[in-house]
């Protein structure tokens, strides 16, 4: 099987491309990204990885909540989707849009939650249920930030 695998990789670039070329659906990988990022630009000029992130970034902007995109977690290569600074202290905001979608992503979510606890950094965790359906979006985000801002 190793020779077949290597031949497929050589011809198609990846095993999954070979599977797709055969007209089949590849298995989800534990290690590979499970989605294609669709970059977009929020009203404040921040580049976001999804329409959902644009909605959140625009909400922060609309509510005059100053924020930085892609802030590094201390002593790691992990990045928070946003960092808000309140009274000189960081608050991380994460959109966990692919929670329960792949083991790799779920490990990253758990790691970020642990990092925030260890570093005593407040974390505002936003999930798809918080922004969809969109008619609940405004109230749900206000509720998520109520401890920090009167948005």
Contact assessment for residue 145 and residue 124, using Cβ atoms and an 8 Å cutoff: yes
Q: For 90-115, give the secondary structure using H, E and C.
A: EEEEEECCCCCCCHHHHHHHHHHHHH
Q: What pLDDT, on the 0 to 100 scale, is given for residue 39?
A: 79
Q: What pLDDT, on the 0 to 100 scale, is given for residue 42?
A: 95
Taking alpha carbons only, the member of 92, 75, 74 closest to residue 83 is 92
Q: Where are the domains of the chain?
A: 1-29, 40-145
Q: What pLDDT, on the 0 to 100 scale, is given for residue 93?
A: 98
Return mean pLDDT, the chain.
87
pLDDT at 107 over 70: yes
Q: How confident is the model at residue 43 (pLDDT cuts 50, 70, 90)?
A: very high
Integer Cα distance of 16 and 22 in angstroms: 10
Q: How confident is the model at residue 90 (pLDDT cuts 50, 70, 90)?
A: very high
How much is the pTM?
0.75
Positive or negative torsion for Cα 90, 115, 55, 149: negative
Q: Which CATH architecture has domain 40-145?
A: 3-Layer(aba) Sandwich (3.40)
Share of the chain above pLDDT 70, in %: 86
Which residues are paired to 68 by β-bridges?
Answer: 83
Integer Cα distance of 143 and 59 in angstroms: 13
Taking alpha carbons only, the member of 38, 66, 63, 65 closest to residue 53 is 38
């Amino acid at each position: 099987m190793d020779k077949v695998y290597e031949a497929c990789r050589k011809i198609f670039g990846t095993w999954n491309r070979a599977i797709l070329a055969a007209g089949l659906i590849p298995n989800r990988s534990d290690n590979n990204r499970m989605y294609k990022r669709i970059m977009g630009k929020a009203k404040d000029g921040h580049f976001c990885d999804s329409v959902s992130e644009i909605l959140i970034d625009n909400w922060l902007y609309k509510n005059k909540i100053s924020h930085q995109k892609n802030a590094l977690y201390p002593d790691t290569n992990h990045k928070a989707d946003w960092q808000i600074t309140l009274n000189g202290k960081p608050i991380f905001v994460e959109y966990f849009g692919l929670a329960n979608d792949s083991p790799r992503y779920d490990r990253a979510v758990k790691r970020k939650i642990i990092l925030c606890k260890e570093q005593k950094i407040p974390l505002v965790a936003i999930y798809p249920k918080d922004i969809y359906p969109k008619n609940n979006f405004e109230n749900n985000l206000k509720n998520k930030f109520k401890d920090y801002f009167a948005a």
